[in-house]
Amino acid sequence: MPVIEYIEAIRLAMKEEMERDNDVFVLGEDVGLKGGVFGTTKGLQQQFGELRALDAPLAESAIAGVAIGAAMAGMKPIAEMQYSDFMFPATNQIISEAAKIRYRSNNDWDCPVVIRAPIGGGVFGGLYHSQCPESVFFGTPGLKIVAPATAYDAKGLLKAAIRDPDPVIFFENKKCYRLISDEVPEEDYVVPIGKSKVMREGTDLTVIGYSMPLHFAMQAAEELSKEHGIEAHILDLRTIQPLDREGILEAAAKTGKVLIVHEDNKTGGVGAEVGTIIAEELLYELDAPIRRLCAPDVPAMPINPPGEKHYLLNKEKLKKAMLELARY
Amino acid sequence: MAKKIVEITMPQLAESLVSATVDHWLKQPGDMLDMYEPICELITDKVNAELPSTVRGKLVKHLIGAGETVEVGAAICLVEVEADAEADTEPSAGAQEPVSPAAPAGGLGTTDTASGALGSSGTRGGEPASRPAAAIAPASGIDANAPMRHRYSPAVQRLAAEHAIDLNRVSGTGEGGRITRKDVQVAIASGNASIGTASAVNPATAATAPIASSAPSDSSLAPMDPKIPVRSTGIHLSESPRIPSIEIEGQEVPGRGEYFIDVTPVRNTIATRMRQSVSEIPHGWMMIEVDVTNLVLLRNKLKDDFRKREGINLTYMPFMIKAVVNAIKDYPIMNSVWAVDKIIVKRDINISLSVGTEDSVVTPVIRHADQKNISGLAHEIDDLARRTREKKLKLDDVNGGTFTVNNTGSFGSILTQPIINYPQAAIITFESIVKRPVVINDMIGVRSMVNLCLSLDHRILDGVICGRFLQRVKENLEGYNLDTKVY
Amino acid sequence: MMHTGSVQRALRHTELGLTDERAVDMYKMMMLARRFDERGQLLQRAGKVNFHISGITQEPSQVAMGFAMDRERDWFLPYYRDYGFVLSIGMTVKDLMLSLYAKGEDPNSAGRQMPGHFGSKRLRIVTGSSPVTTQVPHAAGFALAAKMRKEPSVAIVTFGDGSSNQGDFHEGCNFAGVHQLPVIFVCENNQYAISMSLEKQTRGRICDRALGYGFPGVRVDGNDPLEVYRVFKEARERAVSGEGPTLIEIMTYRVTAHSTSDNDMAYRTKEEVDEQKAKDGMPVYKQYLVDAGLWSEEKEATLQAEIRATIDEANDYAEKAPFQPVEDAFRYVYAEENGEG
C-alpha cells in the first residue's frame, strides 16, 4: 500500500471526487492557477478547467456564500479558506446560512457544501497563521465538523464530506501536511463522519483528542511503555461534530482515567464538551478527575520560537501529563 | 589563530516544510565563504531559494551531494572558522523536563523512641525501571495515614460495593497512597480483601456500557473498620511498651496485692535529678498550639527520598529542634543558668534530647545544634537514639546541654508538664500532632495541630519573654512549607 | 403614458412584448398583493398573528419584475417585502396566509420562520433568512452553477437600500462581475432602512456601484411598472447571452412602517408619507389599462370581489390549519438518513 503525505491525501480526495462527479468543484483564493498556497489543489485546474478549480476574489464571505448558493442549486462545492485564521468573515454565511438551510426550510432545501480550512501552529506562523478556531463553530447545530490527524483519515473524511448532504467544515492541520505520512489505499474508500478511532490500545490511562497533538501522544505513549510499563489508550475523535459519544464513553470507561488534548484554547474548547459527556455518563467508572491538556487561554501563539514552543503542545508536555495521570 | 570546524544545517525555508533538496552547490571545498554568501541552491515543494552561509570561513566538506534530499536541521556541510567564531546554532531545545516526583506513599516516620519504627512501606512506584503495577505492593504496606488513602474515586467505591471488598485491606498504589481502580480489581481477582463471606453482588463489567441508572445505594459502601479510630490521633506508639521485667528480690507477702521492684542506679539518678529540679527551680508552665499542616505535608513529601538517600528516617524532631534553636537565637535568655547573683547566658546552644528507653529516660546532647541543618540534626538524633538504645553513650554525650526538647508526642500525649533538666532554664515538649477542626477566616477547616508545652525557671524567665519565645517557635514551625530545604 | 394625437395606437405594453392578457394580469396581481398586504396588517393589529412586514406601493415594480423572468428556468432570491414578486412567480395567497399564521403547511418553513422568509424548491424560490444580504452571494452561486452546467437560467436577487451596504453585497457583486455570471442584482430602494433615511445609508447612488464591479447599473422608477418590465427584460437578455450581471435600483417608497413593530412617526412626518402615497403607481397603471380599453370599473368591481373572496378563503383556511406537531419541531437539522445522535 502506498505511503503518502497528508497533503497529498487531501489533494487526491478532491481529484478523485471531481473525476467521479461533475458537480464537484473547488473554489477559493489561489486554488486554480497556483494550485493553492500550500499546493493542496495543485494540478486540478490543469485537469478540470478554470470553472471547476475556480480562483475567487479575495472575499471569504463571498467564497462561502457563493459555494452555499451553488450547493443549494445542486452542485457539490468545496470552498477553501486560505487559513482558518481568515475564515471569520465567512462566519455569518456558515452559521446563519449553511447550518440552518435545511432546518429553516423544513427539509425543502439543503446545502451540501464543504468548507476546508487549514488549522494549527508550529510553522512559525505567528498569531494569524496558526489558529485553531474549531470552538467557534462547534456547537452550531446543522454543521458537521471533522479534523483528521492521519493521511488515511484525511482522504477518507474529505471524500465523506464531499458526499455528505449537509454542510461539513474540514479542518486540515497545516503542520501535518508534510510531516505526517501513512498508508493510504489506492482504491476508493470513505471514513464515516461521526466515528472515532482507537489509535492505540492501553490499560493505564485514556487520551482523547484530535489532530496534531495525537501524534505527540503516540510518541509519548511509546516512551512511557518502554520506560515505565505504562500503556496508554489513545482515541482519535476524527469527527468533532457530531461527537462519537459511544466511542468516547467506551474509551474512557476502559481505564477510568481520561486526559483530553487539543491545540485549540482550553476554555470553551471541544475538550470541555467531551469531558462533560464523560462526567454525565460515567461517574462510577471514573478513577481520577478528568484532565485537559490544551493550548493556554491566550489569543494565539507568538512567532518568536521560544514563545511558540511554550504555547504549543509537544511530546514532553504530553508525556508528563500522561505519566502523572497514570500514577494518580 | 586557532581554528575549529562547524556545521551548516538545513533551515526551514517555509512553513510546513520538513525537508529540502540541494539542487547544486555554488561553493566547493577549499572556497572561502563570506557571511551570507550563497553556498548552494535548494529546491522544496513550495519555494526554491539560495542558501546563504551563516559563518565566515573556508568550506571544508560537502556532507550532502547535489540532488540529495535532507531533513530540516540536518548538517549539509563543514566549514573551518576562527576558534572564537560563534557557529549559528539552532535555538536550543526546551529545558529538560523535570523528573516527576515519586509517589510519596508509605508510613509516617519513626519517633526516636526505642520502640520499633512503623517503617515506610517503600516498595511503591518511583524507580524509573520498575513497573508500578498495582499488585506488587506487599500487604503489610498499607499505611493508614497516607494522605490520599481514604480518597475513594467513584469507580473504586462502585467496584468495592459490587464485590464486597473491604477497602481498608486494599493497598493503594496511586498518588499519596490512593487506592486506584486497578488496585481494587487486583483485590477482586485475588480475593484477599473481601468482607466476610464475600458473596459478590453484580460483578462489574468494567469496560463498555456506561452505568447510568445503577447508582449504588448508601448501604453498599464498604463498612468502616471499627479498629480505625474516627479521629486520627497522630503519632502514637505502634506497640505497647514492655513492662520492665526486673528480678524481684524478696518474696511475695501473701494476702497483699503488691510486689517490689529494685531501684537501679539509673532510676536512682533520675530520682535525684528530678527531686533537685523540682525543689530548687520554681516551675512556671505555658503552652501554645501550632498549625503544622504544612510541616506534615513537607515531611511526607521528603521522607521517602530522605530515607533512600540518608539511610535514616526523617522525623519531626529535626524540624522542631531547628525551630527552637532559631528562636533561642532571638531570645538567648532561654538558654541560661541561674547563678544566684548572676544569670549565665550560654552562647553555645546544645540541645538535650529526651530519649526514653523501656525503663528510663536519658538526655543526650546535640552539641552546637545551631550549626546544623535539618538533615544534620536528623543524623544526630538518629545516632544518639541508637546509641542510647544500645547503651553506648559516653559521658560527653550527656553533658553540657543548655536547653531540652522532649518529644512527648511520641507517647501520644497532647499536654505535658515537663520537669526542667537541672540546671537549665527551660524545657519544651512537642506533643502529638492531631487533626482538629479549626476556624480559619471564619470558616471551619481541618488542620494538623500540635501543642508545645514549656516549663520555665521562674527565677530567670517570666511570662512575657516566654510567651514571645513560644510565639517565635510557633512562627518557625508554621513557616515550614513545601519549599523548605533540609540541606 | 400613452401616445396622444396619433393615428397609430402603439401601446407601450405591446411594444414590450406583453400581450393584453398579460398586461391585465399584471394589474390583477398587483391588486392581489396589495389586498393581501392590507389584510396582513389588519390581522396583526387584531392580534391574530404576531408579526407582519409590509410592502405597500412596492407591488407594481415587484410584479413587473416577476413577469419579466422565466418561471421555469430562473432562480429567485427575494427579500421579505416581496409579496408581489413571489405571487407573480407562483406562490398563492393561501401559501402566504399559512406563512403569516406560522402553520405547519406553510411551504416556506412549516411555520418555523417569520413571515416574509420565502422558500420553495418547486417554485425555484430559494430559502431566505433574517441576516440581510446573505442571499446576494447565494445568487452568484446559483448563477455560477448555471454557467457551469451551461443552463440558460438567470438568478435574480432582491434586497433593500440598507442591505446594499453590507459586505456581502459588495463581495457578491464583485464575484459575479469577475466571473461574468448570469445574475440580476435588484435593490428595491424604498428610501428607508427602518428609521434611517437614505442619506444616512449612502451618499452615492446605489446603481452607480455596479461600475466599480465591472457591469452596468440602472435606476428605474418603481411607480412605472412597464418601464420596470422593460429594464428587467433587458437585464435578463444580457445575462442569458453571457454578458454578465446587471444592478437595477428600483426607486420606490415605503409608505408603511418597517414592520408592525415599528412606529414610523418617530422619524418622519405624515405629510411626507401622504405625499408619497399620492404617487402610488397602481392607480396610474389602472388608468393606463382603462385608457387602452382593457379595463373598466365593472371589471374593477368584479376583481375586488374575487380578491376579497380569495383572501377570505385563504385567511379562513390558514386560521384553522394545524401547527407543525412538536414531535417534528427538531427534525431536519441534518439529512434524515444520517439522523442525529
pLDDT digits (tens, 9 = 90+) for B113-128: 333 333 333 333 333 3
Q: Looking at the structure, do residues A245 and A320 belong to the same domain, yes or no?
A: yes
Mean pLDDT, residues B133-143 taken together: 51
- Listed in order, the ranges of chain B carrying CATH 2.40.50.100 are 3-82
| pLDDT at B17 (0 to 100) | 75
Percent with pLDDT over 70 in chain A: 100
| A59 vs A89: CA distance, rounded Å | 8
A313, part of any domain: yes
Of B289, B284, B317, B291, nearest to B464 by C-alpha is B284
In a domain, C198, yes or no: yes
pLDDT for the residue numbered B352: 93
Reading the block at residue C290, the C-alpha cell is 382603462
Nearest to A284 among B94, B180, B211 (CB): B211
Nearest chain A residue to C170 by CA: give it: A62
List phi, psi (to 5°) of B272: -60, -50
Task: Provide the pLDDT confidence category of residue C10 given band limits of 50, 70 and 90.
Answer: confident
User: Residue A245 sits in which domain range?
Assistant: 197-327
Residues A222 and A178 in one domain: no
For position C33, which CATH number holds? 3.40.50.970
Query: Is residue A175, in this structure, part of any structural domain at all?
Result: yes
Confidence of residue C169 (pLDDT cuts 50, 70, 90): very high
* pLDDT (mean) for C271-281: 91
Pairing state of beta strands B19-25 and B38-43?
A: antiparallel
What is the per-residue pLDDT for B220? 41
User: Is residue C51 assigned to a domain?
Assistant: yes
Annotation says A233 is catalytic: no
Same domain, residue pair A174 and A242: no
Residue C222, in any domain of the structure: yes
Residues of chain A with pLDDT under 50: none
Q: Are residues A225 and A138 in the same domain?
A: no
Q: What is the mean pLDDT of the segment spanning C262-271?
A: 87
The domain that holds A83 is classified in CATH as 3.40.50.970
* Residues A236, A191 contacting (CB under 8 angstroms): no
In a domain, A101, yes or no: yes
Q: What percent of chain A has pLDDT over 90?
A: 98
pLDDT at C65 exceeding the cut of 50: yes
CB contact under 8 A, A287 and B131: no
What is the average pLDDT across B296-316? Answer: 89
**What pLDDT is recorded for position C5?**
57
Which CATH topology does B265-478 take?
Chloramphenicol Acetyltransferase (3.30.559)
- The CA distance from A9 to A156, in Å, is 9
Domain count, chain C: 1
The total number of structural domains that make up chain A: 2
CB contact (8 A) between residue A51 and residue C148: yes
Is C328 inside a domain boundary? no
- For residue B114, the SS3 value is coil
- Residue A138 has a CB neighbour count (10 Å cut-off) of 19
Q: Higher-confidence residue: B223 or C275?
A: C275
Residues A50 and A102 in one domain: yes
If we measure between CA atoms, which residue out of C119, C15, B19 comes closest to residue A107? C119
How much of chain B, in percent, has pLDDT values that exceed 70? 74
- Assigned domain for A123 exists: yes
Q: Which of B100-114, B251-265, C15-29, C327-341 has the lowest mean pLDDT?
A: B100-114
What average pLDDT does range C312-326 have in this prediction? 96
Question: Is the pLDDT assigned to residue B383 strictly greater than 80?
Answer: yes
C141 and A107 in contact by Cβ < 8 A? no
Owner of C-alpha cell 496508554: A232
Same domain for A134 and A84?
Answer: yes
Share of chain C above pLDDT 70, in %: 96
Note whether residue A189 is domain-resident: no
Same domain for A140 and A11, yes or no, is yes
Q: Looking at residue B111, what is its pLDDT?
A: 37
Asked if CATH classification 2.60.40.10 holds for the domain at B3-82, the reply, yes or no, is no
User: Which of A 206-265 lie inside 8 A of C, CB atoms?
Assistant: 242-243, 245
Please check whether residues A32 and A118 belong to one and the same domain: yes
pLDDT at residue B139, as a whole number: 47
Residue position matching grid coordinates 488542620: B447
Query: SS3 for C145-194, per residue?
Result: HHHHHCCCCCEEEEEECCHHHCHHHHHHHHHHHHCCCCEEEEEEECCEEC
pTM, full prediction: 0.67
**Residue B12 in grid coordinates:** 526551514
Which of A157, A183, A209 is the C-terminal boundary of a domain? A183
In chain B, CATH 3.30.559.10 sits at: 265-478
Residue C105 domain boundaries? 26-319
Residues A283 and A149 in one domain: no
Q: Do the domain assignments include residue C14?
A: no
Chain C residues in contact with A110 (beta carbon < 8 A): 335
* CATH classification of the domain holding A210: 3.40.50.920
C-alpha–C-alpha distance, residues A219 and B276, integer Å = 73
C-alpha distances in angstroms, C176 versus A199, C143, C182, C198, C285? Answer: 46, 8, 8, 26, 34
Answer with the one of A183, A208, A228 that is the final residue of a domain: A183
Contact status of A70 with chain C (Cβ, < 8 Å)? yes
Determine C/B contact with 3+ CB pairs under 8 A as the test.
no
Answer yes or no: do A67 and A203 share one domain. Answer: no
